[in-house]
Every structure is written in C-alpha cells, then in structure tokens.
Structure 1
C-alpha cells in the first residue's frame, strides 16, 4: 500500500488544480442546467395552457381524419313514398356511378330493403313502417309510421334520439340517420374509390382481366383512338383524382426547387468571393455583402413567396423567386465562410509564380471548395423540394397549392393522402440521391 505524504499531495494539487479546486460552474453546472430546463418546461406548460389545450382538444377528429385517408363512403338514401314504396337515391357524384346495383343491397320479397353495413353483424332493414338496425349483437326497431321516429324498446348507447331524427353510430363501418320519410346510410369501404378509372370512363367497373384484354387485343371502343391511348387518357384525366393535374403540379414543385436553388447558387458563388475577407481585402465590401446575405435569409421563404405572389400573381414563378432569394442569402453565407476557412498555402504557392488572379483562384482555391460547395448546394436543393411544397400553399404554385385546396374542403382527405404520399416519395428519392452524391463528392461512405 502506497502512502502519499503532504508534500506529494500538494504537488499533485498544484499540477492538477482543475480536479481539486473546481469552480462553482464546474461543480453545479449540470444541476443548474437541469433546474433551468425544469423551470422552462413548467413555464411552457403555463404559457401555452397545456392542460386546458389537451382537455378541450377534439381528439376524436384524429381517428375520423385518419380513417378518411384510407377509405371512402357510399351514401344511399331511401325515401319512403306515400304509396309505401321505397325509392333509392344516390348522391350526384357517387363512387358507384350513375346506375349502381351493389351486392350489399338486397330487395326482400315483402318490399323491404336490407343493407349490409359490415357483413352480417351490422345491417339495416328499411320498410315503410319501421327501420331495423342490427349492430353490437342486438336488433333495434325504429317505428316511422307516426309523426316522429320512435325507438321501440330501450335505446342503446350507440343510438342518439332527436326530435325528428334517430342517429345510429356504427363506428368505422358507417352510420344511419332515420327520419319519418327517409333513411340515410353512410357505408364505409377500405381503399380509394375509382383511383384508376372514374365513373365516366369506358373501363369503369370492369374486372382487371377484361380491361387488359380490351387494351391488348379488344375491339376499339372509340373508332379514332386505340384502347391503350383511351385508357391512358381516362387515367390521366380522372375527374375524381385528377392524376394529370396532380403530377403536373408535383413536377412544377420539383422544377421550382431546382430553378430557385440553381439561380441562388449561381448568384451566391461570385458574391461569396467578394464577401470572403481572405479573398477580397475590402472590409466595407465584405460587411455590406454579409449583411445582404443575412437580410435575404432572415426573411423566411414563405414571406418572400407572399411578396412575390402579390407582385407577379400566383404561380410557380413566385415560388422559384422566393427560393432564389432565400438561397442567395443562405448559400452566400455558407460559400463565404467556406472560402474563409481554406488552406492558404496552395494559393500562396501559385501566387508566388506570378500567376494571374483568375489562375490563383482556379488552381489554389477551387479544388478545395468545389466538393464542399456542391455538397452544400445539393443539401439545400433537397431541402427546397420540401420548402416548395409549403410555399405553394400561399399561391406560389406547385403541389402545395393543390394540397391546400384539397384540405380546405375538409372532405377530400383521401386526395390529401394521395398527394402527401407522392410528396414523401419524391422527398425520399431526392434525399437518397443527394446523400449519395454528397458522399461521393466528399469521398466518404454513405450510411
């Protein structure tokens, strides 16, 4: 066992004072950060009134919106006429077309109609005197022969009785609204209705095999157009999903991001040489250009888009201009900082040979900065593909405007899901390609 005397101990303390004489910050810094974080969290809870926000939020809408992303509904209406007959009507733009005969709707021998909402466990039988709703293991008759609908027997929890209406909530499968002279049913299906061909297409509601046979070897449906061309035209001009318009707007978004980033990089590149202190020894010019870059990038891309849509009107030109202004500021700052951090030895060596300034820049600076500049530009381009979607919502064109229009109706959530998925795919492709190019330029392996 080694014994350390006082002299040795004093020598160790003198040599390593940071371990034996720690400052207040070193001893309690971590604890102070923890306390500050806790206090800030409590302040945020109070400032945003989070308890009230969570209790009053409409959480049920989350499930409704998500279900509408992946499903569609059909809404038949059964009108009970004065002679006791039942007239079936569908909305004008029903997913089933103009003359539907669904197999989930059965006409019974006694004149009643049974609608299967979800298999055999949930169905509705409509007759002239009563409507029977079967769900959750029970059948509930609703008498409609008198002045107001009346539930016969106890009212289950999934039924709500109003003065002139009875509403049966059948969950995700749909719902039933019962009044004296009509029954409205909302039946929900998983999937996207008429995604390929709409109800006006000649190929609507045909089996896949029959469609393929018509395209490959069937007789022409339109004498002056091949079936393949007709099928493509019907898909591209699908009135419900508007594939042609969606894809055109998506391409506009990509072009906006590319054009804005390209013009921004081309403008920022020469300005960065003037802003870099070690390249252009003019402090006033350096500061003016750096403050100019700060101004361009401090105004958000969305704000630039609002300005430009007022100046040039809504469209992709305003979007490209907004990206161009933002990227000139962002890339100008990145480029100038990259230039100020280069190794000056190659530059000085070439300068000592008496080479002109252009050659000094070409052989002493460019080999050092080109991979970095290209990498930064690719990253910004990838980011601007996402940004172009956002600024489209304020009228700057592209798929963002299309997405905003679909969301404003609060009814076309399946179309919203379609466009969101397309945006995610495009962002994923550009992210993967950009990462691969950056790693290739930098000479590193992609992970």
Structure 2
C-alpha cells in the first residue's frame, strides 16, 4: 500500500477543493450540541420556576421531616392556672410510659392551699315548696335555682384544700439550651443568647422584653412564641401553657411498648427474665410473652407490617407469573414470522398496547373499584399491565430470531409444533425467563405504590403512617424493610438471569 506525500495531497486538494473541506456541522457539532443542551436547561429552569421554588423552599421544615425519620419526641405540656399553680402533663401514649419523670425536666414543687367554689347543694326536703320553685335556670328550666337560708350559705361557702403544685420548671433542651418556666415568665436560653417572655394570663398575651433572635418567632405582638432548639426540639410558649417538644435520636419502644412487662428493662434484664427469671404471666413462658409483646406492639405493629410486606411480595409474584403465562402464547400469535396472519398480528399487538398504555396505578384504581380494596386488586393490576408489556417484548424477541435454526428443524420434516419447540424456544426461552425475572423484581417495588391506593400490601400501611404527619419513624421502618426486600430480590434475580443467559457477573 502506497502512501501519498504532502505535495500529492495538495495537488488533489487543488483539483477538488470540496473533498477535504469539512461542513459547518462537522466543524462545530460539539459546540452546537453543548449549546442546545445548555438552552434546554435554561428553558427548563424558567418553565418550572426552579429558582423561585428553591428560594421559597422551607429547608428547616425539610430538615425536621428528615430528623423525624430517625428520632422521636417527648411532649410534656406545662399548664399555668390563674392562681399561678403549674401542672405537667404527658400525652396518653407517651414514649416514657405512665408516671414519667425524666431527669431533663426539673420541677420545683410546693404544697399550697387552694380555694375553689364548692358545688351547689340540693335544697333540703324541709324547705318551703314556694322557695324550691321560686326561680329557674334558662339553660335547664326544670332545675330550681332559688335557695334560701342555710342551704344557700352552704352552697356559697368556698372549699379550701391543700395541693402539691409545680411552682417552677427547668427543661434542658441540650448543651447550653434551657427553658425556665415560671407562672409569669419564661426564659429561653440557646448558645449564650437569652430571651425573656412575660406571660399575662388575664390578657392572654406573651410579651418579649427585647427583640427576638432568629431562632424564635412571634407572628404578631402578644401572640404565642415558637422557639427552635435545632435537632434537640422546639418550644411553644402561650400565655397559659408551655408546650415542650424534646427530640431524641432512635426509634422509641421498638421492641416493647409501655404496656409490656418488659418495658424500660435493659437487654440483659430481658434476656435474664426470658431464660432464668420467674414467670411474669402464669399462663405462658416469659419467652412466649416477650415474643407476643414484640409482635403485637401497638406503636410499631410488627406482625401487621410483616404480614402486609408478605402480601406485597406474593402480590408481585402472582401478578408477574400470570402475566408471563398469558403473554407467552399470545406473543407467538403477535409475531409476524411465527403466525403469518397480519390481521391477527395487529389485533394482538393493539391489545398489548391497550394493556400497557394505561399505567399500573390507574389499573389499580380501576380494579380497587371493581373488586374492593385488597391484594386481589393489586395482583390484577400487575397481571393486566405486565401481560401487555411482556407480550410486546416476547413478540419482538420472536421476530428477531435466527430463522436458520427453525428452517433446519423444518427441513427434516418436523411438525409445526416441533419446529417451534426445537427451532424457536431454545433461542428465546432464556430471554423470556430473564425478562420475567426482571419484571418480578420491578413489581416488588411497584406493588408498594399501588398498595397506597387501596390495592393491599405494605403500600397502604405506609400511606396511613405518612398521613398522620407524625409517625415518620414508622415510615422509615417500612421503607427500610422494602429496601431490604428489593435488595434481596435484586440479588436473586441477577443470579438467576446470569445462569439462564450463561453469563457471570
């Protein structure tokens, strides 16, 4: 092979000037492509108002939501009565259980005498009839209100009783962060900054003695003040109540609820009770009692969550299996090189298009209305959608087979069914099985989504937890279970596909 020197190339270029000149597109195509991509992103930024969304987004709320996934709150309320007595109360299902007395809330208590009006006594039987019916209440016409003599004096006499009340409380919200609560004042301290709030129960106002820092907010003068203490929680100060929301990392009472006999015990104490301790319930062993308390934990509902997760797995498997069984024979009718009837080919392919053109979520809504909420609706949605998708993929695979193998089987006089069995199936069966396995893995995730619209499984449980807007740790628990299942099924599916296709990963 001879090579041309520079003078020969120049001579050719002189005779044919257009041969060695590149077009404008060839010379600048990289710049054109880069400019087009840049223009597209600029258009998308403007069209979807991404800058405005990012600017107006409340990132602090987003951070709080993320923190709720891995933490929980203890929510004591400190009420302030008109006479200055304070009372600390906890919600009914508080993570600390009954008789909560955390070390981060220090309360000063005193025994005081409190005066209250005694309930009105019924008139005596000896009172004159006229006196008994002299006046009536507008709200209860049948109830006489007129009282005379000794009865009226007894009703009007106040009742004096001794009570132990809280006169001062200090809440530790973290290192260098405290809330000091008194009947007429609340002092908030965070990282060296101090906010003093005067409480006026008569006027129902909260007044700051100085300008509030950026971590405290008051919408209007005299209104409540909300102070954020970062990841450790927040406080809401009203004129007659202070709401504490202290955050702790972890999932509260994950194994044993406050009603369990094992609540509040360390892992060592629980193990000791299970194996060597005396029976806490005469009717069953401690091991059985502990397992029962875990499964039926009302806060986490482990048994119900696991059952719903199993429903999701079965729903995905059955739906995909039935779709594969129906799509397999229909794909042979849709393939033009297998079943040479153009009208039948088009009818089957359009049927596949009809099934897969509607999203699985829409089919789930339809079948939920038809069959009612439950796994049957979910299985039907998966089956119906994947029949169309798998059928199309199977038909395209059949149309792209090597006809030489089929012609070879046909040349020896084999029957049509034998031609398909030995000339077609060996080429496409590994691909069919690989695609079915992939859809089974994918449907495990999809079954969670369609479950949220009433099609059963863990999706509905997940949606219920999200709607409360407070049980985000339960949401994180279910998401983690779904991730584990998807990872396991992905590994199984990849291993099976590798064996079927004869490849190693």
Fold match (TM-score > 0.5)? yes
Match of 1:386 in 2: 445
Match of 1:183 in 2: 242
Shift in Å, 1:40: 2.5
Deviations 1:172-191 (A, max 9, x none): 21222233433221111111
Secondary structure of 1:289's match?
A: helix
Q: 1:169 to 1:333 in 2, by over 3 A?
A: same
- In the alignment, is the contact (CA less than 8 A) between 1:173 and 1:189 conserved in 2? yes
Query: 1:95 & 1:12 partners in 2: Cα distance?
Result: 90
Match of 1:50 in 2: 50
Please show how residues 5-404 of structure 1 align to structure 2 within 5 Å: 5-6=7-8, 10=12, 20=20, 22=22, 25-82=25-82, 84-108=84-108, 111-119=167-175, 121-144=176-199, 147=202, 148-152=205-209, 155-161=212-218, 162-404=221-463
Query: 1:250 & 1:344 partners in 2: Cα distance?
Result: 45
Query: 2:180 & 2:477 partners in 1: Cα distance?
Result: 35
Shift in Å, 1:106: 2.2
Secondary structure of 2:32's match?
A: helix
- In the alignment, is the contact (CA less than 8 A) between 2:444 and 2:486 conserved in 1? yes
Secondary structure of 1:97's match?
A: coil
Larger Rg: 2
Alignment size in residue pairs: 442
TM-score between both structures, scaled by the size of structure 1: 0.91
Deviations 1:332-367 (A, max 9, x none): 111111112222222222222222222222222222
Q: 1:362 to 1:247 in 2, by over 3 A?
A: same
Query: 1:13 & 1:293 partners in 2: Cα distance?
Result: 59
TM-score between both structures, scaled by the size of structure 2: 0.81
Root mean square deviation, CA, Å: 2.6
Match of 1:442 in 2: 501
Deviations 1:230-283 (A, max 9, x none): 111111111111111111111111111111110000000011111112211112
Query: 1:65 & 1:342 partners in 2: Cα distance?
Result: 53
Please identify which structure carries the higher helix content: 1
Secondary structure of 1:254's match?
A: helix
Query: 1:180 & 1:388 partners in 2: Cα distance?
Result: 49
Secondary structure of 1:223's match?
A: coil
Moved more, 80-89 or 392-401: 80-89
Moved more, 159-168 or 288-297: 159-168
List runs of 5+ in structure 2 lacking aligned partners.
111-166
Query: 1:312 & 1:124 partners in 2: Cα distance?
Result: 55
Deviations 1:187-245 (A, max 9, x none): 11111111111112121111111111111122222221222121111111111111111
- In the alignment, is the contact (CA less than 8 A) between 2:13 and 2:20 conserved in 1? no
Secondary structure of 1:204's match?
A: coil
Query: 1:12 & 1:356 partners in 2: Cα distance?
Result: 68
